Amino acid sequence: MFSFSNLIHPIWKGRLLPFTIWLLSGTTLLWGGFNDRTEAMARLLGPSRLSAKTDPKDLENLRNRLVPILMLLEKGSRTNGPSPESLLENAYDLRKDIGPFERMLTSSALLKNWRDAHAMGLFDEESGFQERIASGRGAGERCVFEYIVLPEVLPVASTHLANIRIVDPGRKRETNRPPTQQELSYQSQLEKIIAEISSRAHLAKITHPPKPKPKSTVNSLGQSKAQEEARWKAEVAAAGESFYSKPNVRVAARVSATPSHLSQGCWEIAATITNLANHPTEVEIIHHILGTTEKKRQHYRMAEGTRKLLLRAGQSSTFVLRTKAEGNYKGKADDLDGLSKAERQRSSVHCRGFVLRAIHSKETIGSAVTDRGLQEYVEDAGALARIPAL
């Protein structure tokens, strides 16, 4: 016997406790001035977790979800309400995570199960649920919970509340019986529910995209910036005067991305600075990314900046440099070129390349350029200041 006043009855404790925990987590409800019974029903009507993989326990889990719903419907029919129909309608009004077609079909399935259970006398005087049939066909036998559409036919519906029914043993589906025309028609209705759920999930991803994961604050060794700096300082202390010696630093860089949707219309330069010395060092990296105009091939500065690197002996540091989106340069580069209106329609933005310099004690100790044509900017750093910045 299952008492409504004690949902976790010993008979059902193992079945309903995991489900009760599931109910209390992650529901999307908007409460208004509805009574407690309506709110309780809304919790029970949470969206089904669909999966293409079936589990032998799916039917039992569905039964454990269905029984508390039927008990609430029965309780409403015996008291001052709300009626079963109104109770479901009001409860679904509280849920904003279930589509209209799923709401309609599931409501119909739940009401049919309640009426069938009521006709079989499956409720006691306190609206508790009992599986032994008390009246009508099959009296004295236990009722049967079964799928309407078998998981072998529609696996993804094996966990949905609209796909379970209660029958007396005499009406239980025979093994290997082909589906009836009514069941085939119902299968198409379930498929519409699945499509609606998928469509709503896709729309939710568009309107409420997942928040990007925060950038990692640790290096490849799992060290925080503070831990890494502390390790560098320890090496500096151990190095003594050799720390001030001119280091052997290798500067390498390459164009890693050109304007595209993925790069957000920018050029990207991947750079790696390696300390080849056997002592720690501190260097400053000065970078410039240069563009060239369409007609006169005049150079201009697209992006520039500096960064300080604390490198232990043998350590490498890798980072990415970016320009602004190419559209930011188009008009200014055309102005610099003095292009006519017709010429502007045919012109494009061109990235000439990059110039990177590693500085130690105000001396350039390493560099990287796209090609030899830009080497002049390493040998004469003042030349970079003489070209326009766009």
Q: How far apart are CA 360 and CA 282, in angstroms?
A: 7
The strand ranges marked E within the chain are 144-147, 164-167, 249-257, 268-275, 281-292, 299-311, 316-322, 350-360, 363-369
**In the Cβ-directed half-sphere of 77, how many Cα atoms lie within 13 Å?**
19
The SS3 assignment for 355 reads strand
**In the Cβ-directed half-sphere of 215, how many Cα atoms lie within 13 Å?**
3
Handedness of CA 238, 243, 248, 251 (dihedral sign): positive
pLDDT digit string, tens, across residues 124-156: 988 889 999 999 998 999 999 999 999 999 999
Give the C-alpha distances (Å, rounded to integers) separating 38 from 21, 104, 108.
19, 17, 17
pLDDT at 10: 47
The SS3 assignment for 200 reads helix
Residue 224's pLDDT band (boundaries 50, 70, 90)?
confident
CB 129 within 8 A of CB 117: yes
CB 266 within 8 A of CB 328: no
pLDDT at 261: 85
Backbone φ and ψ of 352, nearest 5°: -80, -35
5 has a pLDDT exceeding 90: no
Pairing of strands 281-292, 350-360: antiparallel
Report the candidate in 107, 27, 104 with the shortest Cα–Cα distance to residue 73.
Answer: 107
Residue 208's pLDDT band (boundaries 50, 70, 90)?
low
Give me the domains of the chain, ranges plus CATH numbers: 13-207 (no CATH), 225-385 (2.60.40.10)
307 has a pLDDT exceeding 50: yes
Q: How far apart are CA 90 and CA 37, in angstroms?
A: 10
Residue 26: left if φ>0, alpha if ψ -120 to 50, beta else—which one? Answer: left
Average pLDDT, the chain: 85
Residue 81: left if φ>0, alpha if ψ -120 to 50, beta else—which one? Answer: left
301 has a pLDDT exceeding 90: yes
Q: How far apart are CA 194 and CA 101, in angstroms?
A: 10
Residue 360 has a CB neighbour count (10 Å cut-off) of 17
